[in-house]
A = this chain, B = another copy of it.
Amino acid sequence: MRADARENRDHLLTAAGTAITEQGVDVSLRDIARRAGVGLATLLRHFPTREALLDALLRTSFDDLTAKAGELETSNSPEDALVSWLRDCVAWTTEYRGVTVLMAAAIEDAESALHASCVTLRAAGARLLARAQAAGAARSDIDGTDLFALIAALAWLGDQPSFAPRADHVFEVVASAVLTRAGSGDAEQGTPPPSAP
């Protein structure tokens, strides 16, 4: 790779980072190119699609989250590990407004540049969930896919200006649904047992 090309690539990545944190992932690619002092065509040569650019930009964050999941697997409490990791995941998405929709689309589109990162992230969450389930700390009728969907939904709430103030509270509510009670025998039914204390 030529030296000037590498330099342009780096400029593009930093410009994309600041532009996205300011305006969200839907920011105009022309804006990013302009910030980097580069033509639009150059941006599109280095990153043929918006997803490719995001993949290069977010890959380290993805890796950090999966690494964190690995560390938490040796934490003392399976329950705390799961909840803490969930919180980290949701909190991370607030840095990149709008990234949730792209992740949701990428997780099932094997052609997407973000696909691999999303699958890895889901697997990391699934391991933490399985550990909590084995310890009886999480309901047993959900799996990694459900967990990923819950993370995405909570992250999406944080993306919406109208819901963002309540996002933390809603997180607690949903987390309490994932944790503890119920979920062993009547999982097939789907409907939880009626409350009769």
Residues of A within 8 A of B (CB): 79, 101, 104-105, 107-108, 136-137, 139, 141-142, 145-146, 149-150, 152-154, 156-157, 160-163, 166-170, 172-182, 190-192, 194-195, 197
- CB pair B172–A174 under 8 Å, yes or no, is no
Q: A139-B173, A161-B108, A176-B177 are in contact. Are A166 and B192 (CB under 8 A)?
A: no
Q: Contacts A146-B169, A172-B190 given; 19 further ones with Cβ under 8 A? A: A79-B194, A104-B162, A105-B160, A105-B162, A108-B161, A136-B195, A136-B197, A141-B169, A145-B166, A149-B163, A149-B166, A150-B173, A152-B160, A153-B157, A174-B177, A176-B182, A176-B192, A181-B181, A181-B195
Instruction: Report the minimal beta-carbon distance from A105 to chain B, rounded to whole angstroms.
Output: 7
Residues of chain B within 8 A of A180, CB atoms compared: 192, 195, 197
List the 7 closest pairs (A to B, CB-CB), nearest first.
Answer: A177-B177, A180-B195, A108-B162, A176-B192, A153-B153, A104-B160, A149-B163
With A and B bound together, what is the CA distance between A145 and B165 in angstroms? 10
Partner of A162, one of B107, B150, B154, B178: B107
- CB pair B170–A146 under 8 Å, yes or no, is yes
Partner of A157, one of B137, B152, B162, B170: B152
With A and B bound together, what is the CA distance between A195 and B190 in angstroms? 22
Residues of chain B within 8 A of A156, CB atoms compared: 153, 156
With A and B bound together, what is the CA distance between A104 and B108 in angstroms? 25
With A and B bound together, what is the CA distance between A146 and B163 in angstroms? 8
With A and B bound together, what is the CA distance between A195 and B176 in angstroms? 10
